[in-house]
Amino acid sequence: MTDPAGITMAERKRRLVAGELTESALQLLVSKGFEAVTVDEITTAAGVSKRTFFRYFESKEDVVVQFLAEMGTRIHAELAARPIAEPPSVAWRHAVWVPIAACGDHADRALRVVQLILRTPALRSRFLERQVQWHRDLTAQVARRHDLDPDRDLYPRMAAGMALTAFNTVLQCWSDSDGAADPADLTDRAFAVIIPGLDSRT
């Protein structure tokens, strides 16, 4: 059985459970600290079993990192949707800004989770591991946009690397400022540095 959007009831239930688990975990981890919270506490708060928890996540690290991991998918989707004739720096700035702006829409909660990830070695390591795949996917996307060979031409890898560095820098500066810095201004300043490199193909 599916709804008008084509989502099955099973998928709707899966998303609901995953959302409840994520929300329960984030609330506990932000309030108590990563090391102080156990999977048992998360499942109790969410009202599910440990078996259910491990059906959705491999570890409590994965619950938290998922909050930011989805940003990689969003960056890729936004870049793919930009007009081919658009200057690369404009396309990249938009693609990176969309997920950062989404954080700004829930600034207090998002900031605490970003700080938790960036200030907890285990979480930061997991987040950076995810970004390895982001880089591969974005490199392939850039290669397609510019009809380049990602294995021989350096530009796709370099462009993806510069954009992700800008993304990470904005998150880090926003976190360090405890939310005082404006993410839009940080994004503009970060891209001002890398525009020449991004637009070097034009």
Q: Which residue, of 57, 75, 103, is where some domain finishes? A: 57
Which residue matches tokens 């688990």? 21
Contact 86, 66 (CB under 8 A): no
Q: What distance separates the 2 farthest-apart alpha carbons in the chain? A: 55
Clarify whether residues 41 and 115 are in a common domain. no
- CA-wise closest residue to 70 among 139, 117, 12: 117
pLDDT tens digit sequence for 87-120: 999 999 999 999 999 887 667 788 888 999 999 9
Q: What DSSP character marks residue 178?
A: T
pLDDT tens digit sequence for 61-74: 888 887 777 888 89
pLDDT tens digit sequence for 10-45: 778 777 878 788 888 888 888 888 889 999 998 898
- CA-wise closest residue to 24 among 3, 4, 48, 1: 48
* Rounded CA separation 169/73 (Å): 18
**Per the structure, how many domains does the chain have?**
2
Contact 123, 34 (CB under 8 A): yes
Q: Which domain holds residue 142?
A: 60-201
Clarify whether residues 40 and 65 are in a common domain. no
pTM of the model: 0.84
Clarify whether residues 181 and 136 are in a common domain. yes
